[in-house]
């Protein structure tokens, strides 16, 4: 009897031990997996938080790039480097201060130079300066009998919106300026002429308007346009290498943050893509020695312009330097193009 009980005990133990090992092993495995998953989840959350912080830093750097900067002083220094006499310009031409409201409620400041003309040129300056830095171009239009309306872009000068959006929101200010010019007695022709980021703004503005409508210009001139918000930022953030991992990662982080928290989509700042829907006569001016908006990228902008009435002129100058180096040749080409547009 004792031998039989002993045999049963041995049998039970031999069966139970493997079962217990399996059970406890499964429990240990589950705990290990759960711990690993928790750790992985924490790591993912940490990575997402880091990306969010990085995106916020980049978005702030982009949108508020002129924070703490004196854009008026920058403009005056730019004029000095060109040898342009700002004092003489303001003594010869008296601009009237104008404040407009854009469609999104932004207040648009500008200087209107009345010249007794039936034609008005709305001028849009580039990054880092304000309306003062476009005085050399304004001077050439005024000499040729045009009225001129020079505005401050967002993030610059007296514009109340301190965010720079590479033309995405700034185009609304241009539209407001065009509508204002059209409302003036005697003005029958309005053109928009932008330089650098101002040229990008002009191009994106034209992409959203249709010729003949109230807010549409009769022609658009884009001197050395920035090819796109995302491509430019990749170049900047990648220290000149837009295809680097650093450039792609930082741009992606900034792009996502800006979309989620500001409602600003980089894709809407793509000049090359945007001009594919332009029907307003458009001239692109390419500076052969441009190290800011390189010629190959400016050519892409021109090639993508969908309007049949378009022109590309090349000037042997640095970035937006054509009107400085050869003002008569530059303006002759512009005026010929405006004439070819039937205005």
Per-10-residue mean pLDDT of the chain, 343 residues long, equals 55 56 57 57 60 85 94 98 98 97 98 97 97 98 98 97 97 98 97 98 97 94 95 85 90 92 93 96 98 95 96 98 98 96 81
Place of tokens 């310009």: 89
Identify whether the C-beta of residue 264 lies closer than 8 Å to the C-beta of residue 229: no
Residue 152 and residue 173 share a domain: yes
Residue 78 and residue 48 share a domain: no
Place of tokens 């493997």: 18
Q: Which pLDDT belongs to residue 233?
A: 85
Residue 254 and residue 107 share a domain: no
Residue 105 and residue 238 share a domain: no
Residue 115 and residue 80 share a domain: yes
Domain range holding 149? 66-228+270-340
Q: Which pLDDT belongs to residue 139?
A: 98
Q: Which pLDDT belongs to residue 215?
A: 93
Q: What residues have CB less than 8 Å from 245, skipping those under 6 apart?
A: none
C-alpha span between 214 and 217 (Å, rounded): 8
Could you list the beta-strand ranges (E) of the chain: 96-101, 107-113, 119-124, 147-151, 189-195, 219-223, 282-287, 310-315
Residue 185 and residue 330 share a domain: yes
Residue 70 and residue 59 share a domain: no
Residue 157 and residue 17 share a domain: no
Q: Which pLDDT belongs to residue 214?
A: 86
Residue 183 and residue 299 share a domain: yes
Q: Which pLDDT belongs to residue 240?
A: 82
Q: Which pLDDT belongs to residue 91?
A: 97
Of the candidates 189, 191, 174, 187, the residue with the CA atom closest to the CA atom of residue 121: 191
Residue 200 and residue 164 share a domain: yes
Q: What is the pTM of this model?
A: 0.86
C-alpha span between 134 and 74 (Å, rounded): 12
Residue 292 and residue 257 share a domain: no
Q: Which pLDDT belongs to residue 1?
A: 54
Q: Which pLDDT belongs to residue 229?
A: 87
For residue 153, give the CATH number of its domain: 3.40.50.1820
């Amino acid at each position: 009897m004792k031998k039989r009980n002993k045999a049963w005990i041995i049998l039970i133990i031999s069966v139970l031990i493997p079962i217990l090992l399996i059970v406890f092993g499964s429990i240990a495995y589950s705990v290990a997996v759960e711990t690993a998953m928790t750790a992985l989840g924490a790591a993912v959350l940490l990575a997402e938080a880091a990306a969010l912080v990085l995106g916020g830093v980049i978005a702030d750097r982009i949108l508020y790039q002129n924070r703490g900067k004196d854009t008026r002083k920058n403009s005056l220094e730019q004029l000095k480097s060109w040898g342009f006499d700002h004092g003489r310009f303001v003594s010869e031409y008296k601009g009237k201060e104008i404040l407009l409201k854009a469609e999104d409620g932004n207040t648009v400041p500008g200087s209107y130079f009345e010249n007794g003309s039936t034609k008005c040129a709305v001028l849009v300056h580039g990054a880092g300066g304000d309306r003062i830095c476009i005085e050399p171009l304004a001077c050439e239009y005024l000499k040729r009998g045009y009225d001129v309306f020079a505005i401050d872009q967002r993030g610059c000068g007296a514009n109340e919106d301190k965010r720079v959006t590479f033309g995405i929101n700034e185009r609304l200010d241009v539209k407001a300026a065009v509508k204002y010019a059209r409302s003036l007695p005697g003005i029958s022709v309005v053109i928009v002429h932008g330089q650098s980021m101002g040229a990008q703004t002009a191009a994106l503005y034209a992409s959203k308007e249709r010729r003949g409508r109230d807010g549409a210009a009769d022609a658009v001139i884009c001197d050395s346009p920035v090819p796109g918000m995302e491509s430019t930022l990749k170049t900047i953030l990648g220290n000149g290498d837009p295809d680097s991992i650093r450039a792609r990662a930082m741009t992606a982080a900034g792009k996502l943050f800006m979309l989620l928290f500001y409602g600003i989509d980089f894709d809407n700042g793509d000049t090359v893509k945007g001009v594919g829907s332009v029907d307003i006569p458009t001239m692109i001016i390419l500076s052969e020695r441009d190290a800011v908006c390189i010629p190959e990228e400016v050519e892409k902008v021109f090639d993508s312009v969908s309007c049949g009435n378009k022109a590309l002129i090349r000037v042997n100058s640095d970035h937006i330097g054509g009107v400085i180096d050869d003002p008569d040749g530059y303006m002759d080409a512009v005026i010929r193009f405006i004439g070819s547009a039937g205005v």
